[in-house]
Amino acid sequence: MPKAPTIEKLLQNGSAEWNKLRKSGQAPTGQTGATFTQLFSANADLSGLELVGSEWERCDLSKMNFRDTDLTNAYFHGGRLQDCDFRGANLEGCVFEKLKLLRCDFTGAKGLEDLEMDDVDMDRVTGLDGEEAPPPPPPPVQGITAFTREQREKMLGQTHAGGAMDGAASPHPDELPPFRPQDPPGSLFFRALKRVGAPPLWVLDVPGLRPLLPQRLPPGSSLETLYREAVKTRLENKKPAADPGAVERAQKALRMGGKEANVAAVYLREVGVLPLFRFAAAKQLKAELRTEVEVDDLTGSVDPRTTGALLELRLTHEVVEHLHEVRRRLAAAQLYTSLLEAGFNPENNWDEALESADASLELANAATGEDRQALLEGFQVFAALPEEARLRRLAYLAESVSNLELLSRLPEGMEPQWLSGPEVRECHEREMTYVQSLKAQDIPAKVPALGKAELGVPEGEVPEESDDDLFVHVRCDVCGKEKLIVQSPEA
């Protein structure tokens, strides 16, 4: 008979197998003298075991079940124990040295007077002073996760070697962050941004995430620079001032509908000036969004200045339908970011971590449904990017999702399905304000006088042979002139 794997080996390979053995009653309960070095393990059931004299060297244990476990003379040195359950355990002669205890519960543990604590950092630990029993701990997360600290350190070594990190970024290399897929993108972004050091300029493109701000911006008068300056000013709780020359340039950029249209629209938003042109920039902005959405990359970026411009100009037509894809990408970026933050990468058993929390399963499902292979491939692409590029994708996607969600809540008909060129829709150097889109049969009831003036249709009559046409009703805000622009589907 082959030698049964040891508890050390089993836990190193993940607590799933161990828990399964325990459930079926095949795991030996006598584990005196077991030695664990740099073990990362979660949710393992060690309840009721004899772990007398066991040694735990720099282990990272979370949600471990030590209920009624015999830990007499056990030695825990270095590392971290988080959300571990020591209720009823025997801790006589046990030593905790140079480690962190977070939210562990010692209620009803025996031998506490004979427990030695040396340089232990305790946070929300209960039951050590015979306190009242706290409410029962949350139900264990489904699944388990465990892998060795070596794997995590190797992976962290790789990311830290990139040079993007400054020396102060990781004061406690022993402190590996927990897996937190339940955190919103903004929190993941915030934590990661702190690690990157000085915030890059592009964080000003995601004001909705309330980023840490760059100290100063390089001088410049491009609309992009002026936009970022205005965002910085606003986030510093000051009022950004509109620069008349820049406002004029921004209005012109919207009218031209070129590459600068997106930053032009968001600049006007920041300085509180109404855009004089909406439809002129529609084609360009929609093409930019479509180009990004069509890229075959599960975490491909979507520029929040483009989605922000579409929102500012209330351009909904052929835009809102991209929300699903952008949400899907955000779910993937959010999941991967939380995995990488906790030290999981595509080469180690990240899928165990995935299974360990409902929040990560939900994100995986939103990203690729049942297709785990696609999820892995997306992760490989994402993990291979430099840290700042990953962060930017996460932030841009989060901001774009929120822009598109706001856009999707605008009332229908904010934008006509078709609208002809500037020569018919402009008056007084600006676009006429869009009032409504009408079908031919709406004309007699809604705009009879305008139908007569503009189309020569007698009041009370429906324009002939116009079943498929759209009548776009616009008005000049300066002179009050109104128009009905007839649009045919083929136009």
Nearest to 180 by CA among 39, 349, 46, 363: 363
Q: What is the DSSP string of 36-58?
A: EESEEEES-B-TT-B-TT-EEEE
Report the nearest approach of Zn ion to the CB of residue 444 (Å).
Answer: 26
CB of 482 to Zn ion, least distance (A): 10
Please report, as residue ranges, which positions from 398 to 427 form the binding site for Zn ion (by CB under 5 A): 427
164 contributes a contact to Zn ion by CB under 5 A: no
Q: In this complex, which beta carbon is closest to Zn ion, that of residue 259 or of residue 428?
A: 428
| 342: Cβ contacts below 8 Å, ≥ 6 apart | 176, 177, 178, 179, 180, 353
Pick 9 or 428: Cβ nearer Zn ion: 428
Using the contact rule CB under 5 A, the part of the chain among 213-221, 248-256, 405-413, 471-479 near Zn ion is: 471-479
DSSP letter, residue 112? G
Q: How far is the CB of 433 from Zn ion (least distance, A)?
A: 10
- Could you tell me the smallest distance in angstroms from the CB atom of residue 483 to Zn ion? 10
Residue 478 contacts Zn ion per CB under 5 A: yes
* Eight-state DSSP code of residue 110: B
Q: Which amino acid is at 401?
A: V
Which range, of 81-89, 90-98, 101-109, 475-483, touches Zn ion by CB under 5 A? 475-483
Minimum gap (Å) between residue 475 Cβ and Zn ion? 9
**Pairing label, strands 39-42, 55-62:** parallel
Enumerate residues 6+ apart whose C-beta is below 8 A from 131: 107
Closest-by-Cβ residue to Zn ion is 476
Phi, psi of 53 (to 5 degrees): 65, 15
- Where does this chain touch Zn ion (CB under 5 A) — which range of 55-63, 90-98, 224-232, 469-477? 469-477
Is 388 in a helix, a strand, or coil?
helix
* Minimum CB distance to Zn ion, residue 491 (Å): 24
Torsions phi, psi for 490 (to 5 deg): -80, -10
Per CB under 5 A, 476 contacts Zn ion: yes
As a whole number of angstroms, the distance between CA 312 and CA 305 comes to 10
Coil vs helix vs strand at 157 = helix
| Min CB(481)–Zn ion separation in Å | 5
- Give the number of residues in contact with Zn ion, rule: CB under 5 A: 5
Q: Tell me the backbone φ, ψ of residue 280, rounded to 5 degrees.
A: -60, -30
Among 241, 445, 479, 491, contact with Zn ion (rule: CB under 5 A): 479
Q: Does 428 bind Zn ion (CB under 5 A)?
A: yes
The Cα 268–Cα 460 span in angstroms is: 42
Tell me the window of 141-149, 268-276, 330-338, 468-476 that interacts with Zn ion (CB under 5 A).
Answer: 468-476
Nearer to Zn ion, 133 or 479 (CB): 479
Distance CA 161, CA 271 (A): 41
Taking the least distance from each CB to Zn ion, the nearer of 407 and 427 is 427
What is the rounded CA–CA span in Å between residue 250 and residue 159? 40
Q: Which is nearer to Zn ion, 445 or 478 (CB)?
A: 478
Residue 277 Cβ vs Zn ion, minimum distance, rounded to whole Å: 14
Binding site for Zn ion (CB under 5 A): 427-428, 476, 478-479
